[in-house]
Chain A
């Protein structure tokens, strides 16, 4: 049985709904030694800023039960170096290249979009979970007005498909998602890591050099899943589901909840083959249930009416 795995998220077409998440896959080079990147639906590359960023002081990682805390601090080589040194390698593969961008002012987001508009990438993912230095360091991402401003500013500079990656620590994720798509985004990526911390009781010091960090991994999945379901149910927009996907079963939950694609993050660290195994697992599931097209599974959650 020929099975269709290709999906469309607004103007972004993917041959499979399985991507790898920003910050967990470098620029693809590291993992290319182990896996065939051609088998991925897409690669969301490391968060990229206008200028290189040094990142946070170590320790940057702390493990918690079924989760990983990280405070990398958005270390990256900057957009110019990315275009010159990293992009040519990625372009050799038959997979979509999505660049995750972040800035500290609205203007920085706009300049990044302009610089990446015509270099041969397939989409932009906007990371809005950074401090807005023009507003005393308050996070952009929790304020619908700022999300709208950034999305509009980016949209003005590029025709690339846009996805806004939203933070989970908000009162109502639907309001933020709505702000993003009504300002020109093709869809949203749900969710970014959850702000969290851990303490070493013997030294009484925080386990992270930055004190707080972002929580990712399996413990995040139920939270993310609910947000995906809520946004799709209310807004019917393209959503990429992210959060604790370790297995095909996890991915299938997201697809049934309404995500058109999913991103594998933390699981890449444990098992570099996760994205490929998840893709195979989805295919087998569709076969078992006699479904020829993944699109017949997406958003098929059966909720009994009371």
Chain B
């Protein structure tokens, strides 16, 4: 774990009309980049003026030599301010944090991403690809995304896309894809990250199938290192800290409301 003053190397805004906007922030952070693993996250300081007050957690999107990237969507005041960051700006980041994904199998793996939940799975896919693993990557979105983002994501491996309005890929929810592909070939292992309703739907779907599944959870966090106890989630072992015991959990551990 390091506290690093990182420099913005590149900030790409994938914004077009009638599409889901994403922002790719690439930072130069040699220490953190040298040891971050898929599923781990960073706590990014947004403002020095105490509004927004807290750091924001972001999954690592990928690491490349001394660079570390995050892919984000604007969801509030903090992420809105981030979009103004320019090349050369300094960003205060703490990381890598959390446990990260565990890779048990290299064949017939599914990666299921919902919205911005693609970030940690993209990093995992890059590592799996290097290990010559065999995986299927499905991404669920509400609307289409910028073609340049798509080209960037699909550079190294194929991604099957579902959109709610049908403006890109197949029309439907990611769960429609899950059910369809399951009938064709059953996976040995599933990794998932996305909005809670998606993860919950997956957990319920998997109840009788019992496919080993790791999910990445997101909650409000203050410290990111296990001190404040603010980010807990209900599990079979009691309240667990998403920042330290997670953010990656075995799906059957989580108690869904």
Contacts and interface: CB of A to CB of B under 8 A. Distances in A.
A59 interface: yes
Nearest to A20: B227
Contacts of B222: 61, 68, 70, 266, 269
B220 A270 contact: no
A89 interface: no
Contacts of B225: 30-31, 33-34, 272
Interface in B49-65: 50-55
B50 A54 contact: no
B232 interface: yes
Contact of A33 (B1, B52, B219): B1
A183 interface: no
Interface in B226-257: 226-234, 238-239, 244
A63 B51 CA distance: 9
B45 interface: yes
Contacts of A218: 50, 53
Contact of A217 (B3, B53, B230): B53
Nearest to A244: B50
B227 A26 contact: yes
A45 to B, nearest CB: 11
A220 B224 CA distance: 23
Given A65-B51, A266-B53, A270-B54, A55 B3 contact: no
Contacts of A63: 52-54, 220
Contacts of B51: 65-66
Interface SS of B by simple majority: loop
Interface residues of B, number: 30
Contact of B3 (A54, A57, A246, A273): A273
A272 B45 contact: no
- Chain A, interface size: which category? 20 to 34
A58 B234 contact: yes
Given A60-B232, A61-B220, A270 B227 contact: no
A105 interface: no
A59 B231 CA distance: 7
A23 B55 contact: no
B221 interface: yes
Interface in A238-260: 246
Contacts of A70: 222, 228, 230
B223 interface: yes
Interface string A44-67: 000000000011011111110111
Contacts of A117: none
Contacts of A72: 228-230
A212 to B, nearest CB: 15
A61 B226 CA distance: 14
A11 B227 CA distance: 29
B230 A61 contact: yes
A272 B221 CA distance: 15
A217 B238 contact: no
Contact of B221 (A25, A31, A61, A273): A61
A75 interface: yes
A24 interface: yes
Contacts of B45: 270-271
Contact of B230 (A60, A65, A273): A60
B231 A54 contact: no
A24 B229 CA distance: 9
A34 B3 contact: yes
Given A33-B1, A34-B3, A270-B53, A58 B232 contact: yes
Given A24-B228, A61-B231, A268 B223 contact: yes
Contacts of B229: 55, 60, 72, 75
Interface centre among B53, B92, B221, B238 (most CB of A within 10 A): B53
A127 to B, nearest CB: 15
B3 A272 contact: yes
A214 to B, nearest CB: 12
Contacts of B233: 58
Contacts of A33: 1, 225
Contacts of B239: 54-55, 58, 75
A66 B92 CA distance: 19
Interface string B64-99: 000000000000000000000000000010100000
B29 to A, nearest CB: 16
Interface string B1-28: 1010000000000000000000000000
The 10 A-B residue pairs with the shortest CB-CB distance, nearest first, are A26-B227, A61-B230, A269-B222, A61-B220, A30-B227, A269-B223, A218-B50, A60-B230, A30-B225, A65-B51
Interface of B: 1, 3, 45, 50-55, 92, 94, 219-234, 238-239, 244
23 contacts: A24-B228, A26-B226, A30-B225, A31-B225, A34-B1, A54-B239, A55-B239, A58-B234, A60-B230, A61-B220, A63-B53, A63-B220, A66-B50, A68-B54, A72-B229, A217-B53, A218-B50, A218-B53, A269-B54, A269-B222, A269-B224, A269-B228, A270-B50
